Chain A
Amino acid sequence: GAVVSQHPSRVICKSGTSVKIECRSLDFQATTMFWYRQFPKKSLMLMATSNEGSKATYEQGVEKDKFLINHASLTLSTLTVTSAHPEDSSFYICSGTRTSGGDEQFFGPGTRLTVL
């Protein structure tokens, strides 16, 4: 149990376009979902925390107008990278915590974004 999926797993886009990444909790309800960014051979950096039905809380230095997060239901959160540029190329990982007992985060497999 506690499986999180992400779609797509890989995406390549042109500079200036927008890309949407979906994060779904498949067998549990996730009150809170998190979005991380990971550069090659680096650690996971928390970008934002989203609670279902509320505006996301962004970490310092993360542009909320560039990285739009929507958490419309207890099983789906989306991250939209608007007007993507090559420096946005990275590995994006989402996670969720169960509604009942948020003592662990369950991670998705990640999405590799390449902006040309």
Chain B
Amino acid sequence: AQTVTQSQPEMSVQEAETVTLSCTYDTSENNYYLFWYKQPPSRQMILVIRQEAYKQQNATENRFSVNFQKAAKSFSLKISDSQLGDTAMYFCAFMKLYPWNDMRFGAGTRLTVKP
């Protein structure tokens, strides 16, 4: 079974600063996807960024980037130039591909961006 660990229950960052959220996972699969989701107070899950395990290059999406270390099973999220709207719960998620792509989530990190 796959497990996802987020060791930082809460984090805070000053507006315009950079913050890194950590995530580790455990799996015996070789092909899989990793995601970071944002959940604001509305509770709607919003995809922040995703990484295919077979790709060595780290994914980036504007101010969001990841550091994917497959051998170490580590998948951290870096948020640059933090904005007040980034305040939310952030979940790291692992998705296997077979027989169907069910997803496992970490416990989440509550990020607060301070003005």
Contact = CB atoms under 8 A, between A and B. Distances in A.
Q: A and B: partners?
A: yes
Interface of A: 32, 34, 38, 42-46, 49, 51, 91, 93, 95, 97, 102-105, 107, 109-110
Contact of B50 (A46, A49, A104, A109): A104
A110 B105 contact: no
B107 A110 contact: no
**4 nearest CB pairs, A to B:** A107-B45, A43-B105, A44-B105, A110-B43
Interface of B: 33, 35, 42-45, 47, 50, 52, 91, 95, 97, 100-108
Given A103-B33, A109-B42, 7 more contacts: A34-B103, A42-B108, A46-B104, A49-B102, A103-B101, A109-B43, A110-B44
Contacts of B108: 42-43
B33 A91 contact: no
Contacts of B52: 103
Contacts of B44: 107, 109-110
B91 A46 contact: no
B107 A43 contact: yes
A42 B95 CA distance: 19
Contact of B101 (A38, A42, A43, A97): A97
A41 B42 CA distance: 13
Nearest to A97: B101
Given A93-B45, A110-B43, A105 B104 contact: no
A32 B43 CA distance: 22
A104 B47 contact: yes
Contacts of B45: 44, 93, 95, 107
B101 A46 contact: no
A2 to B, nearest CB: 10
A102 B43 contact: no
A91 B105 CA distance: 15
Contact of A105 (B101, B106, B107): B101
Contacts of A42: 107-108
A45 B103 CA distance: 9
A102 B99 CA distance: 11
